[in-house]
Structure 1
C-alpha cells in the first residue's frame, strides 16, 4: 500500500487482480478522523507543491514529516507496511508497522493494574515564544508595508496583487507551523505582522 497526493486529495494505491488501484481513504477501515487528517494534509501539500517551495525548505520539511506520521498511523491500523511518496521531493519512503511497546502487553488477570502515571509536560516558553513572535511580526510588518508603498506609487492594483501573492505564499507554511512547538511562534508572528501591515496601509490611504 502506498500513500500519495493526487490533485489535492490523499489516495492509497495498491495492487489487486486487475492491476494497480487508487482508493479514497474513506473507503478503507481507517476511521473518519484519520481519513480527514489525510485529506487536510494533502490539500496543504498540494498548495506547497504549486508554490514551487524548495523541498528542503521549512514548508517542505513539515509536509514530509506530517506525511510520515500519517503513514505510520495507517500502517498501525492496517497492520501492514505503508510506502509514502513525499509530494514535495518525490522521495519514496517505506514506513513499517509500529512496534507495540512492552508496557502495553497484557498482564496476568490476577495482577492488579497500577494507576497511570501522569506525564510531566514542559512549561510553555511564553517569554521566548512571544519575543520570537514580536520580532517576526515586526519584520513582516515592515516588509509588507515597504513593498506595498513602493508598488503603490506605481499602481494601487499592483500593490494589492503583491499583497495577495505574499499572503498566498506564506499561508501553507503558517498553516503547517501552527501546531509545531517551535515554529508556531513564527506562524503567530507572520499572521500578526500581516494584519498590522494591512491596518497601517488602510490608515495611510484614509
Structure 2
C-alpha cells in the first residue's frame, strides 16, 4: 500500500500495479480520525510544497515529513500491511512496517480455561497448596462416603469396581488440567484425594 499526497488530499493505492486506483482514506477501515488527520497533513504538505516552489524558506518541511511518517505508521498498524510512504516534500519513498502487536492481558476465563501455560508468572505455592489440600479433603470425603454407602448394599468387589469407575472417569480431565493456571491446583488436589482415598476404599471393601 502506497501513501502519497495528490493535490491537497492524501491518497492510498495498491503497490505493484501500474494502473492501481487511488483510494480516499475515508473509504478504508482505518477510522475517521486517522483519515481526517491524513487529509489535514496533506493540506499542510501542499502549502509547504508551494512555498518551496516559490523560493520561500521551508522550515516546516522537516515537520511535515516527520508527521507523514507518523501517520504512515498508524496506517500500517490499522491495515496490518507494509506502507510505502512517499514524502510530499522530498519525493523520497520510505517503507514503513506495522508495529509489533502486543498480546492482550489474559482474562480470567483464559486463565481458568485457556490452553497456554503462563510460565513467566511466579508460582503461587502457598495459595495453590491450600486450594489443593481443600480439594483433596473434599474428594476423600466423597469417595469414602460413596464406598461406605455401597459397602452396606453390595459386595466388596463391586465397591472396588465402582471406585475404579469413578477414578477412571476423572483421570482424563485431571490430566488435561495439569498445566492450566489456577485449575492445575484443583487437579493436583483431586488427584491426591483420589490416591489417598483408595486406602480407605480397600479398608472398607475388605
Q: TM-score range, shorter-chain basis?
A: 0.3 to 0.5
- Look at both structures and tell me which one has the larger radius of gyration over its CA atoms: 2
**TM-score of the two chains, using structure 2 as the length reference:** 0.48
